[in-house]
Structure 1
């Protein structure tokens, strides 16, 4: 009985591949691609960076 469990861990099973696909797929969800606001949509890494930096400067430094 113990051998079967060891082989499953070493060889993997169907859930192992599924788990890795899900875990690796979550990285893409952590990125902000665009921000929508009343004035329009902000797109692009540099535009987002500038907008967010300016937002927090105004929020905390005034």
Structure 2
């Protein structure tokens, strides 16, 4: 009986793919990939960082 449980954990079961998809989806929701602005779309991690930094500098001042 114990051997079957170990194989099930190693090989996975029918729900394994489902739970991985849910976990990956939650991770993706937290990540900002692009911002759409009037000036255009900001894409890329460094570009997003600079855009957000400049936005808040203008908003709150130096």
TM range (shorter): 0.5 to 0.7
Aligned residue pair count:
53
Runs of 4+ in 1 over 3 A off after TM superposition: 17-21
Instruction: Report the RMSD for the aligned CA atoms in angstroms.
Output: 2.4
Task: Name the structure with the higher helix share.
Answer: 1
Q: Which residue of structure 1 lines up, in the alignment, with residue 40 of structure 2?
A: 40
TM-score, structure 1 normalization = 0.62
Unaligned runs of 5+ in 1: 1-10
Distance (Å, rounded) in 2 between the aligned partners of 1:44 and 1:21: 24
Unaligned runs of 5+ in 2: 1-8
